[in-house]
Amino acid sequence: MLNIILFGAPGAGKGTQSDLLVKKYNLTHISTGDLLRKEIADGTPLGLRIKDIMASGNLVSDDIVVEMIDKAIANDTNGILFDGFPRNVAQARTLDELLAKHGRSLTCLVSLDVPREELIRRMLERAKTSGRSDDNETTIKNRLVEYENKTLPVANYYEQQGKHIKINGFGRIEEISANIIDAIDKL
């Protein structure tokens, strides 16, 4: 059973690639961003707190995210594609523990490597159609700093375990997908 983290900076193409991988390998897609936005859309008290945190470009607390992830792992029977989690090394350790608790382990972390200027361009372009309040230049730059300082070390954590696969995330969608699938199929 595959359990994969799709990893990269905001705007790296995780959402696009995750859709393709979910279909290819019949995985359950766990996107923390989607889970968090659903809470916001439902107007729950938690959703209102999350909305304020996300609008400022900051990360939602680990305890909120971990609770949602544990529930999703417990309900899964196909294998999982994690998109947007873990966002820091503490969450990576927690994910390893949650997977073990459910008799699983992580297969690999696939990171999409995209130059910073391209990330900003993509997110500004996405802002034109997404309606997401967190897609403006100031917030985008803050999110990238947060990613570089807090999230990027996760790749090193899984590199030390021999589970990190680095993929060039700049190019045609189909080419990037083919490179990801080729790397996963070689495992």
Q: Give the domain CATH number at 66.
A: 3.40.50.300
Question: Which structure tokens are listed for 134?
Answer: 């967190």
The range of the structural domain enclosing residue 89 comes to 3-177
Average pLDDT over residues 75-104: 94
Single out the catalytic residue among 49, 104, 121, 126: 126
* Res. 135: pLDDT tops 80: no
Average pLDDT over residues 128-153: 86
Q: Where are the beta strands (DSSP E) in the chain?
A: 3-8, 28-31, 80-83, 108-113, 164-168
132: annotated active-site residue: yes
141: annotated active-site residue: no
Query: What residues does 6 pair with on adjacent strands?
Result: 83, 110
Single out the catalytic residue among 51, 122, 143, 163: 143
Say which range, 9-13, 54-58, 87-91, has the weakest mean pLDDT: 54-58
184 lies in a domain? no
Q: How many domains does the chain have?
A: 1
pLDDT value, residue 68: 81
pLDDT value, residue 180: 98
Preceding peptide of 86 cis, ω within 30°? yes
For residue 39, which amino acid is it? E
Q: How confident is the model at residue 47 (pLDDT cuts 50, 70, 90)?
A: confident
182 lies in a domain? no
Average pLDDT over residues 21-33: 92
Mean pLDDT comparison of 33-42, 71-80, 161-170, highest-scoring range: 161-170
What is residue 85's DSSP assignment?
A: -
Q: Nearest Cα to 6, choosing from 181, 171, 185? A: 181
Instruction: Please tell me the distance from the alpha carbon of residue 154 to that of residue 148, in angstroms, as a whole number.
Output: 10
pLDDT value, residue 133: 66
49: annotated active-site residue: no
Single out the catalytic residue among 14, 51, 122, 163: 14
23: annotated active-site residue: no
Q: How confident is the model at residue 128 (pLDDT cuts 50, 70, 90)?
A: confident
* Res. 151: pLDDT tops 90: yes
**Higher pLDDT, residue 78 or 37:** 78
pLDDT value, residue 126: 85
185 lies in a domain? no
* Res. 134: pLDDT tops 80: no
116: annotated active-site residue: no
Single out the catalytic residue among 132, 141, 150, 166: 132
